[in-house]
């Protein structure tokens, strides 16, 4: 009998659609950052920057680095400290160390850009808010963890920072862009919550389909995979659509 790999459920299936089951230490760290979703939310930073009147590529690069370190690495490390539903089996002390170092580096990227004058001084408050969000949301501090908080912290916040780091401009663009990021983040949350439920808690599902006209179909083979497939596909397609839109906006700004 083959050894069960990290990121693998009993039966051999991956613990999420984007997870590559492997006991390799580096592969487990790659799985930790939830790459498709990290890229999805980094795209919101790009949306904000691209919609601002003055796009500064250097500031955008630093902003993406800071969010990758804070949101992509540190946040997911702290999240795993609250439980390991993806079965990545990384030592807790490694998660604490990497999470703390990544958050420290993210803070220093922001501080350096303040010192260099790349962003206005009042944005230090947004940087502080970012640190509190990473710790509060992922360690599930009371009142900071939920669907609305997810959409606000991981959807609206990256967009607002990206937009204001470029100097801002139109309040209407800020509000509409933030609303778009809020709604698409909440949509991700709705889909991923259903996917997690089906994967982690449902052992077996029997599905009978009765079509209009009286035709009753046999239950599809494997009820849980049949229910899960469209949810995973929607998440996968959206995770590709967001960076494609971000790249399109950047290309539009260069033409």
Sign of the C-alpha dihedral, residues 100, 102, 105, 107? negative
Confidence (pLDDT) at 3: 66
Nearest C-alpha neighbor of 44 from the set 169, 145, 180: 180
Secondary structure letter of residue 33 according to DSSP: T
- The alpha carbon of 211 is separated from its chain's Cα centroid by a whole number of angstroms, namely 37
Record the tokens describing residue 120, joined without a space: 């206005």
Q: Is 231 left (phi over 0), alpha (psi -120 to 50) or beta?
A: alpha
pLDDT digits (tens, 9 = 90+) for 79-96: 999 999 999 999 999 999
Nearest C-alpha neighbor of 162 from the set 82, 18, 42: 42
Q: For the chain, which residues make up each domain, given as ranges?
A: 25-254
Paired with 209 in beta bridges are 217
> Could you tell me the CA-to-CA distances from 222 to 51, 92, 204, 227, 229 in Å, in that order?
45, 35, 8, 9, 11
Between helices 157-165 and 124-138, what is the axis angle to 10°? Answer: 160
Which helix (H) or strand (E) element contains residue 217?
Answer: strand 216-217
Task: Tell me what percent of the residues of the chain surpass a pLDDT of 70.
Answer: 96
Confidence (pLDDT) at 45: 99
Helix-strand-coil split of the chain, %, nearest 5: 70, 0, 30
216 or 201, greater pLDDT: 201
What CA–CA distance (Å, rounded) separates 247 from 139? 32
What CA–CA distance (Å, rounded) separates 85 from 89? 10
pLDDT digits (tens, 9 = 90+) for 171-213: 999 999 999 999 999 999 999 999 999 998 888 888 887 888 7
**Over 50: is that where the pLDDT of 1 sits?**
no
Degrees, nearest 5: CA angle 37-39-40: 60
CB 92 within 8 A of CB 30: no
């Amino acid at each position: 009998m083959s050894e069960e790999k990290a990121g693998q459920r009993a039966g051999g299936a991956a613990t999420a659609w984007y997870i590559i089951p492997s006991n390799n230490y580096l592969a487990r760290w790659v799985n930790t950052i939830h790459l498709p979703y990290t890229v999805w939310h980094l795209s919101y930073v790009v949306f904000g920057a691209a919609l601002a009147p003055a796009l500064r590529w250097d500031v955008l690069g630093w902003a993406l680095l800071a969010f990758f370190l804070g949101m992509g690495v540190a946040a997911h490390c702290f999240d795993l400290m609250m439980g390991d539903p993806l079965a990545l089996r990384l030592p807790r002390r490694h998660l604490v160390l990497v999470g703390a170092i990544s958050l420290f580096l993210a803070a220093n990227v922001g501080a350096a850009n303040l010192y260099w004058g790349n962003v206005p001084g009042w944005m230090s408050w947004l940087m502080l808010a970012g640190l509190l969000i990473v710790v509060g949301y992922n360690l599930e501090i009371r009142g900071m963890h939920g669907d609305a908080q997810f959409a606000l912290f991981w959807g609206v916040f990256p967009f607002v920072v990206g937009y204001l780091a470029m100097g801002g401009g139109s309040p209407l663009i800020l509000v509409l862009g933030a609303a778009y990021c809020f709604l698409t983040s909440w949509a991700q949350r709705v889909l991923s919550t259903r996917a997690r439920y089906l994967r982690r808690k449902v052992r077996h599902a029997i599905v009978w389909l009765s079509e209009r006209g009286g035709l009753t179909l046999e239950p599809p083979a494997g009820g849980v995979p049949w229910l899960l497939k469209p949810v995973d596909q929607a998440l996968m397609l959206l995770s590709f659509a967001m960076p494609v839109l971000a790249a399109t906006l950047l290309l539009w700004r260069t033409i």
